[in-house]
Structure 1
Amino acid sequence: MDDDDLAHLRRCVELAAEAADAGDEPFGSLLVDAAGRVRFSDRNRISGGDATRHPEFAIARWAAENLTPDERAAATVYTSGEHCPMCSAAHALVGLGRIVFASSGAQYAAWMAELGVTPGPVAGLSIRQVAPGVPVAGPVPELADEVSRLHERAARGAASP
């Protein structure tokens, strides 16, 4: 993990905060090409009722439509939280490269349990379990407190910090 990785992850956390401010779960993600250019960014958008509107899933769909297989394989997806199984599968199926995440699925599960939030309907499998061939890096301890606070704020339904 280098300074560029951390800068991209910090942007993902900003996108996660935007999601929380809009009433969505706080997740944000970037797709960065091999040259270091951000090609696509998004935040969670599930509050409208479509539980598949995760930013990582949107990245996979965008990449499949707009990048060659070689460009996808050389790209990196940065995200505030480790991919869920749906997003991990989409990532692998379209042939995207490395994933770098600020917080892990295990951290998220622990935070939600501490807040008394009932687990969702999908098992919390790690990226490595769903897509073992995808290189991953994370979590990043220096971002954990900030990400945890965003999830706590969202779980409590607050519109501001």
Structure 2
Amino acid sequence: MNTQLTDVELRHVARAVDLAAEALAAGDEPFGSVLVDSGGQVRHEARNLVRTTGDPTRHPEFELARWAAAHLNGEERAACVVFTSGEHCPMCSAAHGWAGLGRIVYAHSSAELTRWTGEFGAEPGPVRPLDIQAVAPGVEVQGPVPAFTDRLRAMHHELHIREAGRI
């Protein structure tokens, strides 16, 4: 689903992309996410912490699901929107579904990321990329958001260059 986002929603996506840039600057994979409640208030933010912690489950989308499960009731979780730099992986899609969170808006898709990493010559990840709704069919999904494509592609390219030892 790729419908028009409001200016406020675009700002939330932009914040998720900024968090991805923060993750990259800290030595991690460029992913970031923002949890926004039904009143438009940012409830929690997270960025990727996989490399800096050594824990491969420290994806920001999973962090938001954990936080929401601990701090919000089911009705509040269902009314929240997750704005994220990249489409959820299967692990994060499952966490989102199990936590009962609402809509997801992502800046780049898993298909785009797979294509980019292939172009960079990177090895595929350990888990098959699946559309969010293949894992959590009841979740409303919106994305990608083309306004962020070039910036995100550049971040993933920088990560690949670092991993290849070229910078």
TM-score, normalized by length of structure 1? 0.96
**SS at 2:34 equivalent:** strand
Q: 1:82 aligns with which of 83, 87, 102?
A: 87
Is 1:2 the counterpart of 2:13? The answer is no
Deviation digits for residues 46-70 of structure 1, max 9, x if unmatched?
0121100000000000000000100
- Percent identical across equivalent pairs? 56
Shift of 1:128: 1.4
Where in structure 1 are there 5+ consecutive unaligned residues?
Answer: none
Look up the equivalent residue of 1:57 and give its one-letter code.
Answer: F
Q: 1:25 aligns with which of 18, 24, 29?
A: 29
Where in structure 2 are there 5+ consecutive unaligned residues?
Answer: none
Shift of 1:154: 1.1
Runs of 4 or more above 2 Å deviation: none
Deviation digits for residues 103-123 of structure 1, max 9, x if unmatched?
000000000000011011111
Shift of 1:4: 1.2
Q: Distance in 2 between matches of 1:80 and 1:28?
A: 6
How many positions carry a matched residue from both structures?
A: 158
Q: Find the counterpart in structure 2 of residue 63 from structure 1.
A: 68
Query: Which stretch of structure 1 is more off in the superposition, 147-156 or 70-79?
Result: 147-156
Q: Find the counterpart in structure 1 of residue 50 from structure 2.
A: 46
Look up the equivalent residue of 1:39 and give its one-letter code.
Answer: R
Is 1:134 the counterpart of 2:139? The answer is yes
Q: Find the counterpart in structure 1 of residue 116 from structure 2.
A: 111
Over the aligned positions, Cα root-mean-square deviation in angstroms equals: 0.9
